[in-house]
Amino acid sequence: MGSTHSETGVRWLPAIDYPSAKQGFWYPQTSTINWCEEDYYATIYAAEIVNTLTNLLFMYLGIKGVRSCLKHGHDTVFMVTFLGYLAVGTGSFMFHSTLKYPWQLVDELSMIYTTCLMCYACFSFNQSRRFCQSLSAGLTALCIFITGYYHYLQDPTFHQNAYAILTAIVVFRSMYVMEVNIRPSLRAKYGRASPNGKLSAEEAKRDKQILRDMWLMIGLGLTIFLGGFGIWNLDNYYCSTIRRWRHDIGLPWGILLEGHGWWHLMTGTGAYMSLVWGIWLRHCLNERQDEYELYWPRTFTSLPEIVRSNPEKWKEIHGITKVESKKEL
């Protein structure tokens, strides 16, 4: 039932009562999960309206990523991964609209498949064709196993654990590869040799700046992603309390307490930043740091993108002189 003013007392902001949950166009539910947002209270065509619409960010960023890959010539594996990212948003949009089991599988399993694509990108670089073929076959087999076993169990915990493990593998492996192949002091000892022998002072300064920017992106992206994960857990655990609060404050303010919607917005942003980081790291591993640069005009109010650049522009931005560029480590 929608809350009334007699139940809530005085509201500090103008608001309307929540409509009652009801059966909608897609009834009955066949999914194994139903989240904390009440069903069909806003429209009969979307079971969970906020959880549905917040996936538009996923879809926008997926399209943005694909266009960036095409425009700036990023490796094909990242364009395919952004298509997977777009599939996650589309599947989630349909799942929360309908609460149908097939769309639940599209939503959840596309998360696994997209992460496996990132896993391939992370481990396949500079490897032999045989290794890449074996890695591809192994990851494909893993996807098939997770798909079949999850469909058999129909236990969301299994999917969540599988996704968390794969994501952690990709993140920590990428951090390791980044440090040993870009940081000048570690690269000389553990990483790949520079094509021109020793790094020049200019190249060392460039790479240290790239690392600082990468770690900023990683830190902010992980904070946003894990923040969304934390809100998602609170939304699940305290659902009955949060529902009562939403009814107390009414619409539209109650929308701000839709924790699963925040999960979409925050994990979508964090995952996008992770993909951008992966693109940048790949260009650095290919010794193309001077051909590409990070475009991120405002740290907290814009999203990063890797775009084509040129060496002279980089030198101008970071104040490297001709004398410095001739020095060697």
Task: Report yes or no: 273 and 220 within 8 Å, Cβ to Cβ.
Answer: yes
Spatial distance between the Cα atoms of 230 and 235, rounded to a whole number of angstroms: 9
Condensed to tens digits (0 to 9), the pLDDT of residues 218-247 reads 999 999 999 999 999 999 999 999 999 999
Between 12 and 257, the higher pLDDT residue: 257
**Sign (positive/negative) of CA torsion 267, 269, 273, 275?**
positive
pLDDT of 112 strictly over 60: yes
Residues 6+ apart with CB under 8 A from 185: none
What mean pLDDT do residues 265-286 have?
A: 95
pLDDT of 326 strictly over 70: no
Condensed to tens digits (0 to 9), the pLDDT of residues 17-42 reads 999 889 999 999 999 999 999 999 99
Strands (E), the chain: 292-295, 305-308
Condensed to tens digits (0 to 9), the pLDDT of residues 57-88 reads 999 999 999 999 999 999 999 999 999 999 99
Task: Report yes or no: 152 and 105 within 8 Å, Cβ to Cβ.
Answer: no
Q: State the pLDDT at residue 186.
A: 80
- Tell me phi and psi for residue 206, to 5 degrees: -60, -50
Spatial distance between the Cα atoms of 239 and 244, rounded to a whole number of angstroms: 9
Between 79 and 321, the higher pLDDT residue: 79
Q: State the pLDDT at residue 204.
A: 85
Pull the structure tokens for residue 27: 């009834």
Residue type at 292 in one-letter notation: Y
Q: State the pLDDT at residue 197.
A: 58
Residue type at 85 in one-letter notation: Y
Spatial distance between the Cα atoms of 278 and 110, rounded to a whole number of angstroms: 19
DSSP SS3 for 70: helix
Spatial distance between the Cα atoms of 58 and 81, rounded to a whole number of angstroms: 13
Condensed to tens digits (0 to 9), the pLDDT of residues 156-207 reads 999 999 999 999 999 999 999 999 999 888 876 665 655 555 777 888 888 8
Pull the structure tokens for residue 135: 């890695």
Q: State the pLDDT at residue 313.
A: 58
